[in-house]
Amino acid sequence: MRYRTLGPSGLLVSELCLGTMTFGGSEGIWGQIGQLRQEEADALVQTAIEAGINFIDTANVYAGGESERILGQSIRNLGLARDDVVIATKVLGPMGAGPNAAGASRAHVLAQAKASLTRLQMDHIDLYQIHGFDPVTPITETLEALDTLVRQGHVRYIGLSNWAAWQIVKAVGIAEARKLAPILSLQAYYTLVGRDLERDIVPMLQSEGIGLMVWSPLAGGFLSGKYSGGTAAGGRRASFNFPPVDLARGDAAVAVLREIAAERGCSVAQVALAWLLHQPVVTSVIVGAKRVDQLADNIGATGVSLSPGDLAALDAVTKLAPEYPGWMLERQAQYRAPFAAQKG
């Protein structure tokens, strides 16, 4: 297991992060994603820790708070030292019926941070993330609320999730101008069959030095290889088809993944995860599971090394179609190409 700094900080996190969205579900969407109870969750957390994973992600909205509660109890049940684990959680989604029971307002952010700490049985959250963009609340209000939590010691670092590039850059500018707690990370969807981030968000992250945490790295199980032509051979995509996948491109990608997996003597999922770990912009890949053997297989991806030929083959079958202004920027950049290497 390798460790990387999270954005422009000295905080070291493992290249794999344990996702806990499968903890605690009972009905509806959360029941479809996972219904793990305490003992099963303890086994997954223990497997992750023993493999060197020190980074665990959850959210207040997962199973209506049950994921946070179960995770917090797992930390206690396993006797883990608080400083040995980096705990990330998120806020935005509805946690009640009222109009102020959701969003990124100061009231909701502060109230939910306190509620998350209670469920986690902790006195601080290492990484507190805004789970999505709130079109109602001014960005400044959200950032000032997060800064308050950092100054109070309830939160150590802050991040965002599912924001557009322009929204993130605007937030970075506001934080810098007002001397608020800096934004360290973005949690976003990125896979071989979902490379949209590469158009604007990846260049922005690299420019600003912001870390990237990848959610659903197997595209909801699609890149595990157990789906063909959109037909599920078991798994949650049979009833919860998310994230959306272009099936024609997806099947082509899986075919190449299978070839590489056969050559490497590993699973298709491990190759898909290894591809992400080979991307310079990626800080940590969030892996979730319902069983210990699934998690162990995902952890095995850290030992899969892809050759330049493997990466080229995967890129050829999954690369994005040219889109404006990208193709124009690339073309015009050639005017200055001879001097690019001298920059700095």
Task: Using alpha carbons, select from 193, 79, 174, 120 the residue that is nearest to residue 158.
Answer: 174
Q: What angle do CA 129, 290, 88 make, to 5 degrees?
A: 15
Residue type, 40: E
Residue 62 a catalytic site member: yes
List phi, psi (to 5°) of 158: -125, 150
Contact 113, 91 (CB under 8 A): yes
Distance of CA 325 to the CA centre of its chain: 27
Provide the 10 A C-beta neighbour count for residue 64.
18
- Bridge pairing between strands 282-287 and 211-215: parallel
Task: Using alpha carbons, select from 162, 130, 165 the residue that is nearest to residue 146.
Answer: 130
Residue type, 69: R
Which residue is catalytic, options 3, 62, 157, 335? 62
- Bridge pairing between strands 227-228 and 211-215: unpaired
Per DSSP (E only), the strands in 173-249 are 183-189, 211-215, 227-228, 231-232
Known catalytic residues are 62
